[in-house]
Structure 1
Amino acid sequence: MNATAPATAGRREWIGLAVLCLPALLVTMDLTLLFMAVPQLVSDLHPSSSQLLWITDIYGFMIAGFLITMGSLGERIGRRRLLMIGATVFGAASVLTAFSDNAEMLIASRALLGVSAATLAPSTLSLLRSMFHDPAQSKTAISIWTTSFMIGGVVGPIIGGVMLDHWWWGSPFLLAVPVMVLLLVTAPILLPEYRAPGGGPLDLPSVVLSLASILSVVWGIKEAAREGMETAPAVAIVLGLAVGVLFVLRQRRLETPLMDIGLFAGRRFSVSLTSLLFTTGILMGVQYLIATYMQSVLGMSPAKAGLWQLPVIIPGMVAAMVGSTIVTKVGPAKVITTGLVIGAVGFGLLTQVDGDSGTALVVTASAIMFIGLAPVMALGIGTIVSTAPVERAGAASGLASTTNELGGALGIAVVGSIATAAYRGRVGDLMPAEVPAKAAEHARVNLGGAEGEAAKLPGTAGSRLIDAAQSAFAHGMAVSAVVGVCLLLAMAGLVAYVLRGLAPAPVGEGEGESPAPAPKDVPAGLSEA
């Protein structure tokens, strides 16, 4: 037997892959379910504009803040063990989320849900690296795992939309309970345990620094977009960046850091990570706006709005698989650059949306966006993970998942704040004269506030206020799309320049590196499973 040939995965590993896709699918489902539930949630809980942003943001913030920590913790206590702990807490937090009866309880429940979700993505992704050593099989497994996130984006709105048509806004979050029970039952049977050899203690100061840095910057950006760049948000952003620098410097000194800074040495790795951050951010932010637009402006039911996601997500899934296949032939620069340009075309179409636009324009623009950006996202995650040795898979998986989730969280915060600022400016200009001052003030908060005030107004004043608010919301979405076009084209130019002349690399190899060998030690608990 050739000692250098990596072992191939068997039936058990492939069935285990299906199990690992369950939490990956559910993490995305939980975010899209919230998008669908927002109109009913606003009507029932009456959150303020700031509370609504935190309801939509806190889940992603907590995931992003704890992903690196959880990726490192899994290597110390066991990746499968951490996965099962997280699944248990995620199921319990989903129940709390579903039955929240005020905005404060919902924010707290979503925060707990985010912390538990942070255990799922790095655990599943790093287990894949320890289960699939053959480069071709590893590539396929990572592509399937990445695609499961997109499937969650399809399944979540459809199933959640049907449930929202029949039950209260929190009911779709209970879907997590049977899924997590299934994971807890099958994981000990199908998944191997793995602990990295020689793992040191978890560095708690690094955990605090990473959380402080992320939350300070995000809060500052949110407040700056909402109220303008005043003293408090400016200080928060500067302080967050400074804490981030301290975090990086500390990682360089630690023998077992939370974030392996050495992973950033390769151009392929760094560009893939940056592209993933920005594309996920702008796409998730606009997806949130589109879900609200379909329901509140186009008047769709949650189920119908969910079904309209099928012609958007499915072509993106196909494009992701195609992009992952051809990258070894044409190189990452061409795939990423082309995807970013196609995505910019979709955002360009979205700039033409107004309050009277039909479904066709929104769905076409969304489909083009996904076709372009899905390969960029899949390639980014695959490259980040596959270029790391298997014993560093937890750190790389945590970093990939952090980038993905932080991008989504920042995107919802920043894009949502830009759209809200544009909405407020436009709705003030379009406000009907007969609307009382107090009602007009509430209507300027958000579209939900305008709908609530319109229901109280007599005669045609209510319908005129709704028309003004819907036009203003569409204007805010169009302004956000302009930002997306500029950002994606700038990223495309940067990728084409930085990765010029970089030859395609086989899956499992970094820049000038040999494929990472399977570890010589026996993974902890492998014989148990």
Structure 2
Amino acid sequence: MTRQHAPTSSGGRRAWLGLAVVLGPVLLVSMDGSVLFLAMPSITAALSPTADQALWMLDVYGFAVGSLLVAFGSVGDRYGRLRLLLIGSTLFGIGSTAAAFAPNPEVLIACRALMGVAGATLLPSALAVLSELFPDPGRRARAIGIFAAAFAAGFAVGPVVGGALLGAFWWGSVFLVNLPVIAAFLVLAPVLLREVRATRTGRVDVLSVVASAGGLLLTIHGVKHLAAAGLSVLPVVTGSLGLATLAFFVLRQRHLEHPLIDFSLFRDRTFTVAIITGLLPLAAWSATAYLSGIHLQSVLGLSVLHAALLALPGAAVLTLTCVVTPAVVDRIGKKAALVVCHFTIAGGLLLLLPTTVTGGIGWYVASTVVTGLGYGISFSVVADTAVGAVPAERAGSAGAIAETGNEIGNALGIAVLGSLATLVFRLQGPDLAPTLDETLRLPDLAATALRDAEDAFVTGLHAAVAVAAVLHAALGAVALRLLSGPTAGDPGRNHPDEPELTREQLSGRA
């Protein structure tokens, strides 16, 4: 690996200042994945999107981030991580400004897509920078714990920030809040961070980038339309084409000298379970946060600020768990942490089942607190596992795999579980409009129709929650079985070329 201005100290003051600077865009990228959850009723009232447009406003950002993370992780490894961070931050600021003043749903969706592309440049390079700032495994694990806490805090406080801003300003303020952080990063990053790139890592395979992004978008497009409009030729064709494209992507990676995703990493059972752990919890979290936000506001009638404040206890638990998880993992190991993660989330999700059309606030708060423990474990363990699995020059690519799981999970949660809730509403609701919010906007809505719509929405919420809980319980059982024996990945899997001592160091016990 060729370094330009390598860090002068391992985990010294400059390294921690560099970490602080990197956390700004990390917080924004994750926060913008959830900031619209409580803002959607206000945006819906202002822009009047269709049900399909409303879902794209929410998840096109996650799809853009998730589908390009691996590609930009490789770009950063090849052409410079600091350069990519600066370009991405600039584009993120431009997209945020344009989104704040979007005149219609189409423009807002386009701006969210641009922000997603920019976000995809930031996360893998930011995580890779940590492997350079903190080459010592112990300090790197603590730094990644803080990184994961910032990433998790962004997701958790996104709805809170959105609710607080909407209590005083118009809906565009949820995007303009990004600009001061972006400006500070652009000023400080060139001073505190130093360019690092790898050599002999090959070119980025454009066809793989197109196949991964196109396959994801086509697949999810089919799923969303099947849920919203029922069985028809178009969604079946697009979904099937998307799955075929993703299969082509996977096969192509196996024949490339420098693939976007090194699937050999998945031979390690702990690494595999950890990456899946990066996807499923975000799917459950995003879907339940979005649907619960509608339940609190549109069904129970709470203000957006009140709903935001109810999310604070869970956000605090999630963030704190991210910080302390590295120390806990040193004692119990990654295997046990992964198992505890999934069973905790499953139990917390089930606490949402007692919610009704007339109550459930206490159950909602309890659910966010319990699941916050599991979510916090997942964020921290996944990031450290990915970065510790490869040599430093591949850190951007490996980190991108972990963040891809998070972002795709975030988008899939709304697209798949949100579509499941939409399907239940369409089948059991009053059949006046595709969604609850659209039904509530109908003039002269009868009381019986209103009650039927609210009942159908809560049933859809319960269906999504139950499916997510079952998936987590199943993955917890799989993790318990697969990780019961010794694996190379616990507590840290090193690259095959690295000596056994490094593997011990990665456990934090050297």
**Structure 1 segment 41-80 matched on structure 2, within 5 A:** 41-80=43-82
Q: Decide which of 475, 494, 497 is 1:491's aligned counterpart.
A: 475
Paired amino acid for 2:77: E
Give the alignment partner of residue 402 of structure 2, picking from 400, 403, 407: 400
CA apart distance, 1:508: 6.7
CA distance in 2, matches of 1:228, 1:489: 29
Tell me the CA shift for residue 513 of structure 1.
5.6
Where does residue 369 of structure 1 map in the other structure?
371
Q: Which residue of 1 aligns with 2:144?
A: 142
- Determine the structure 1 residue equivalent to 2:258: 256
Is 1:482 the equivalent of 2:459? Answer: no
1:167 to 166, 169, 190: 169
- Please state how far the C-alpha of 1:15 moved relative to its aligned partner: 0.7
Q: Deviations over 1:259-297 (max 9, x none)?
A: 222222211111111122112112211111112222222
Identify if the C-alpha distance between structure 1 residues 27 and 183 changes in structure 2 by more than 3 Å, giving closer, same or farther. same
Whether 1:472 and 2:456 are equivalent positions in the alignment is yes
Separation (CA, whole Å) in 1 of partners of 2:340 and 2:252: 37
Pairing of 1:55-454 with structure 2 (within 5 A): 55-428=57-430, 441-442=432-433, 445-453=434-442
Q: Which residue, 11, 22, 26 being the options, matches 1:24?
A: 26
1:14 to 13, 16, 23: 16
Q: Secondary structure at the match of 2:429?
A: helix
Tell me, in whole angstroms, the C-alpha distance in 2 between the residues paired with 1:468 and 1:447: 10
Aligned length: 494
Counterpart CA distance in 2 for 1:253 and 1:501 is: 31
Identify if the C-alpha distance between structure 1 residues 427 and 511 changes in structure 2 by more than 3 Å, giving closer, same or farther: farther
CA contact (8 A) 1:157 1:307 kept: no
In the alignment, is the contact (CA less than 8 A) between 1:272 and 1:379 conserved in 2?
A: yes
Q: Equivalents in 1 of 2:138, 2:459: separation in Å?
A: 46
Q: Say whether the 8 Å CA contact 1:217–1:236 is kept in structure 2.
A: yes
Q: Say whether the 8 Å CA contact 1:157–1:303 is kept in structure 2.
A: no
Residue 355 of structure 1 deviates from its aligned partner by: 0.6
- Give the superposition deviation at 1:447: 1.3
Secondary structure, in 3 states, of the residue corresponding to 1:129?
helix
TM superposition shift of 1:395: 0.9
Contact 1:348 1:482 in 2 (8 A): yes
Deviation of 1:462 (Å): 4.5
Aligned mates of 1:402, 1:515 — CA distance in 2: 29
Which residue of 464, 479, 490 corresponds with 1:505? 490
| Whole-angstrom CA distance in 1 between matches of 2:186 and 2:224 | 37
TM-aligned CA distance change 1:58 to 1:165, over 3 Å: same
- Counterpart code for 2:397: A
How big is the shift at 1:510? 6.1
Question: Which amino acid counterpart does residue 366 of structure 1 have in structure 2?
Answer: T
Q: Distance in 2 between matches of 1:263 and 1:7?
A: 30
Between the aligned partners of 1:82 and 1:516, the Cα distance in structure 2 is 33
Q: Give the alignment's TM-score, normalised by structure 1.
A: 0.89
Is contact 1:339–1:371 with CA below 8 Å preserved after alignment? Answer: yes
User: 2-side partners of 1:181 and 1:515: how far apart?
Assistant: 44
Contact 1:7 1:134 in 2 (8 A): no
Checking the alignment, whether the CA contact within 8 Å between 2:389 and 2:494 is kept in structure 1 is yes
Contact 2:335–2:490 (CA under 8 A) maintained in structure 1 = no
Residues 25, 122 of structure 2: 8 Å contact kept: yes
Q: Distance in 2 between matches of 1:85 and 1:232?
A: 37
Partners of 1:121 and 1:401 within 8 A in 2: yes
Name the structure 1 match of 2:508: none
Secondary structure of the 1:119 match is helix
Contact 1:386 / 1:507 at 8 angstroms: preserved in 2?
A: yes
Pairwise CA distance, 1:378? 2.0
Equivalents in 1 of 2:16, 2:292: separation in Å? 36
| SS of equivalent residue, structure 2 residue 201 | coil
C-alpha displacement at 1:316, in angstroms? 2.1
What residue is the counterpart of 2:507 in the other structure? none
Quick one: distance in 1 between partners of 2:469 and 2:497? Answer: 34
Deviations 1:387-441 (A, max 9, x none): 211011011011111111011111110111011111222222xxxxxxxxxxx52
CA RMSD across the alignment: 2.1
Offset of residue 509 of structure 1: 3.7
Q: Is the 8 A contact 2:275 2:402 kept in 1?
A: yes
Q: Give the secondary-structure state (helix, strand or coil) at the position aligned to 1:324.
A: helix
Report the AA paired with residue 459 of structure 2: H
- 1:107 partner amino acid: I
Partner SS state of residue 257, structure 2: coil
Are residues 514 and 314 of structure 1, via their aligned partners in 2, closer, same or farther at CA, if it must alter by over 3 Å?
A: farther
Contact 2:391-2:495 within 8 A present in 1 as well: no
Assess if the C-alpha contact under 8 Å between 1:266 and 1:511 holds in 2.
no
Q: TM-score, normalised by structure 2?
A: 0.92
Cα distance change, pair 336–136 in 1 and its aligned pair in 2 (3 A): same
**Contact 2:157 2:315 (8 Å CA) reproduced:** no
Residue identity matched to 2:221: W
Contact 2:36 2:159 in 1 (8 A): no
1:398 partner letter = A
Preserved contact between residue 157 and residue 302 of structure 1 (Cα < 8 Å): no
Alpha-carbon distance between aligned partners in 2 of 1:282 and 1:448, rounded to the nearest angstrom: 22
CA positional deviation for 1:256:
2.3
Paired with 1:241 and 1:168, the residues of 2 have a C-alpha distance of 40
How far 1:246 sits from its partner (Å)? 2.0
Aligned 8 A contact 2:43 2:171 in 1: yes
Instruction: Report the Cα offset of residue 30 of structure 1.
Output: 1.3
Q: Find the aligned partners of 2:357 and 2:478 in 1 and give their Cα distance.
A: 35
How far is the alpha carbon of 1:380 from its aligned partner? Answer: 1.6
Name which one, 1 or 2, has greater alpha-carbon Rg: 1
* Structure 2 residue matching 1:32: 3-state secondary structure: coil
Shift of 1:507: 4.7
What amino acid does structure 1 have at the position aligned with 2:214? A
Partner Cα distance (1:239, 1:154) in 2: 34
Deviation at 1:129, TM superposition (A): 0.9
Q: Which amino acid aligns with 1:494?
A: V
